Amino acid sequence: MSTPPPNQDTGGQLLARCDKITRDLSSIKRPMDDFLNTFKTQILKTNQLADTLNKYAQVETGPLQTLVQSVATKLLELSKLQDSLIMSIQDSTRSIGTYRERVKDAQEAFTERNKALSEFQKKEETFNKKRLENSGGDGFRSAQDAQTMSAQRLQQANVTARDRIISFERDRLNDIKTMLMDVTTLQIEYYCYGLEVLTELQKEAEVMRESAQLETIQSSLATLD
């Protein structure tokens, strides 16, 4: 019984596509890392600003001191949010860096599949010759058994190669989706929370009466009278 062999070029086409996808993913990872580094720099600068404001608050008094401390606290909260979101994105981009190894796994599977295909073709050729010769006996049965076993090995090799490609594609789709969702989530959560926090600070600044701050200063100067 003969099993029609699959197109031998198909494996090469699939691997070429996977290899191109891997290179394209690498090209995405580099600017993504730059994007994350920009956020990391922003976190550092924000923390430095918050630290400076906290130090400055120590020389202030009254409502202004409270406002400066509030700004420093909210800035630190934003930094912590940024840091947690960045860690999430790094997890997804880290997986993208593993696709070179995953392509190698698929290449190995197709190499074994091509060996099985070559063996199948040889065994089938031998079997067909025996059949055309109408030779019976042990030689014919041996060729038939060898052809059947090689067909089974080819079928298993095809399944393994197919599963490697499907796994590659499934993981790729999931990882890219996760990465893109994490990026948009970072932007949305950071700027939405930033808008909320900074709006509160704006209201605090608006309700702070300069006269109240001046009253605090005048109180401290009362000992000069």
Q: How many residues are given for the chain?
A: 225
Residue 221 is assigned to a structural domain of this protein: no
* CA-to-CA separations, 56 to 52, 59, 161, 200, 207, in angstroms, rounded: 6, 6, 65, 21, 21
Residue 210 is assigned to a structural domain of this protein: no
Residue 53 is assigned to a structural domain of this protein: yes
CATH of the domain at 54: 1.20.1270.60
Residue 167 is assigned to a structural domain of this protein: yes
Residue 14 is assigned to a structural domain of this protein: yes
The Cα–Cα gap between 84 and 41 comes to 14
Residue 222 is assigned to a structural domain of this protein: no
Is the confidence at residue 167, as pLDDT, over 90?
no
Is the confidence at residue 199, as pLDDT, over 60?
yes
Residue-range definition of the domain harbouring residue 110? 10-202
162: exposed, middle or buried (Cβ count in 10 Å: 0-12, 13-18, 19+)? middle
Residue 5 is assigned to a structural domain of this protein: no
- Tell me which of 202 and 95 has the higher pLDDT: 202
pLDDT of amino acid 4:
45
Task: Name the domain count of the chain.
Answer: 1
Question: pTM score, two decimals?
Answer: 0.61
Residue 144 is assigned to a structural domain of this protein: yes
Q: What is the DSSP string of 35-71?
A: HHHHHHHHHHHHHHHHHHHHHHHTT--HHHHHHHHHH
